[in-house]
Amino acid sequence: MACAQCHYDGHASAANPSLIGSPTLQANPSAIVGIILHGQSGKSLVDGKPLGGIMPAQAYLTDPEIAAVVTYIRSQFAGISAEVTPAQVQQIRASPPRLSHD
Protein backbone atom coordinates (compact mmCIF):
# COMPACT_ATOMS: atom_id res chain seq x y z
CA MET A 1 0.00 0.00 0.00
CA ALA A 2 1.03 3.60 -0.51
CA CYS A 3 1.52 4.14 3.25
CA ALA A 4 4.63 1.98 3.43
CA GLN A 5 6.47 4.12 0.88
CA CYS A 6 6.92 6.82 3.54
CA HIS A 7 6.06 5.22 6.86
CA TYR A 8 8.02 1.98 6.31
CA ASP A 9 7.43 -0.26 9.32
CA GLY A 10 5.92 2.53 11.41
CA HIS A 11 9.20 4.12 12.49
CA ALA A 12 10.04 7.74 11.78
CA SER A 13 12.13 8.92 8.87
CA ALA A 14 13.75 12.30 8.28
CA ALA A 15 10.48 13.76 6.95
CA ASN A 16 7.78 11.48 8.35
CA PRO A 17 6.68 10.96 11.95
CA SER A 18 6.67 7.61 13.64
CA LEU A 19 3.33 5.86 13.78
CA ILE A 20 4.39 3.98 16.90
CA GLY A 21 2.61 5.53 19.89
CA SER A 22 1.47 8.47 17.76
CA PRO A 23 -0.83 10.87 19.63
CA THR A 24 -2.77 11.33 16.37
CA LEU A 25 -3.48 7.60 16.22
CA GLN A 26 -4.46 7.57 19.88
CA ALA A 27 -6.91 10.45 19.39
CA ASN A 28 -10.39 10.26 17.93
CA PRO A 29 -10.12 8.33 14.63
CA SER A 30 -11.56 11.31 12.76
CA ALA A 31 -8.12 12.99 12.99
CA ILE A 32 -6.25 10.27 11.10
CA VAL A 33 -9.14 9.68 8.69
CA GLY A 34 -9.10 13.39 7.89
CA ILE A 35 -5.35 13.33 7.27
CA ILE A 36 -5.71 10.33 4.95
CA LEU A 37 -8.56 11.96 3.04
CA HIS A 38 -7.25 15.51 2.82
CA GLY A 39 -3.51 15.20 3.34
CA GLN A 40 -1.37 17.38 5.56
CA SER A 41 1.55 19.69 4.95
CA GLY A 42 3.55 22.33 6.70
CA LYS A 43 5.83 22.21 9.67
CA SER A 44 4.83 20.30 12.74
CA LEU A 45 6.47 19.31 16.00
CA VAL A 46 6.39 15.58 16.71
CA ASP A 47 8.08 14.18 19.82
CA GLY A 48 9.93 17.48 20.14
CA LYS A 49 11.38 17.22 16.63
CA PRO A 50 10.40 19.56 13.80
CA LEU A 51 9.12 17.83 10.67
CA GLY A 52 8.23 19.39 7.35
CA GLY A 53 7.02 16.45 5.29
CA ILE A 54 3.96 16.28 3.13
CA MET A 55 1.26 13.66 3.57
CA PRO A 56 -0.55 13.60 0.22
CA ALA A 57 -4.31 13.16 0.19
CA GLN A 58 -5.42 9.58 -0.36
CA ALA A 59 -9.08 10.38 -1.11
CA TYR A 60 -9.05 7.90 -4.00
CA LEU A 61 -9.25 5.09 -1.41
CA THR A 62 -12.74 3.79 -0.72
CA ASP A 63 -14.44 4.18 2.66
CA PRO A 64 -13.97 0.45 3.46
CA GLU A 65 -10.27 0.68 2.49
CA ILE A 66 -9.65 3.71 4.72
CA ALA A 67 -11.61 2.12 7.57
CA ALA A 68 -9.47 -1.03 7.30
CA VAL A 69 -6.20 0.93 7.16
CA VAL A 70 -7.09 3.12 10.14
CA THR A 71 -8.31 0.14 12.17
CA TYR A 72 -5.05 -1.70 11.37
CA ILE A 73 -2.62 1.13 12.11
CA ARG A 74 -4.39 2.11 15.34
CA SER A 75 -4.27 -1.52 16.46
CA GLN A 76 -0.65 -2.12 15.45
CA PHE A 77 0.94 1.19 16.43
CA ALA A 78 -1.32 2.65 19.15
CA GLY A 79 -2.72 -0.49 20.79
CA ILE A 80 -6.34 0.51 20.10
CA SER A 81 -8.50 -2.41 19.01
CA ALA A 82 -11.72 -0.48 18.33
CA GLU A 83 -12.83 -0.89 14.74
CA VAL A 84 -13.26 2.15 12.51
CA THR A 85 -16.23 1.56 10.21
CA PRO A 86 -16.83 2.59 6.60
CA ALA A 87 -19.84 4.59 7.88
CA GLN A 88 -17.53 6.65 10.10
CA VAL A 89 -15.23 7.33 7.15
CA GLN A 90 -18.20 8.26 4.97
CA GLN A 91 -19.37 10.78 7.57
CA ILE A 92 -15.89 12.35 7.82
CA ARG A 93 -15.54 12.41 4.03
CA ALA A 94 -18.84 14.31 3.77
CA SER A 95 -17.70 16.94 6.30
CA PRO A 96 -15.63 19.96 5.29
CA PRO A 97 -11.90 19.40 5.87
CA ARG A 98 -10.42 20.78 9.06
CA LEU A 99 -7.76 23.44 8.65
CA SER A 100 -5.52 21.79 11.22
CA HIS A 101 -5.12 18.16 12.29
CA ASP A 102 -3.59 18.97 15.67
Domain ranges in the chain are 4-94
Give the pairing of strands 49-51 and 44-46.
antiparallel
- What is each CA distance from 69 to 48, 49, 65, 74, 95, in whole angstroms? 27, 26, 6, 8, 20
**What are the pLDDT tens digits along the chain (102 aa)?**
667 667 766 666 666 777 888 888 888 999 999 999 998 887 776 667 777 778 889 999 999 999 999 999 999 989 999 999 999 999 999 987 765 544
CA 70, 81, 37 angle in degrees (round to 5)?
Answer: 15
HSE of 84, CA atoms in CB hemisphere, 13 A: 29
- Does domain 4-94 fall under CATH 1.10.760.10? My reply is yes
pLDDT of residue 99: 56
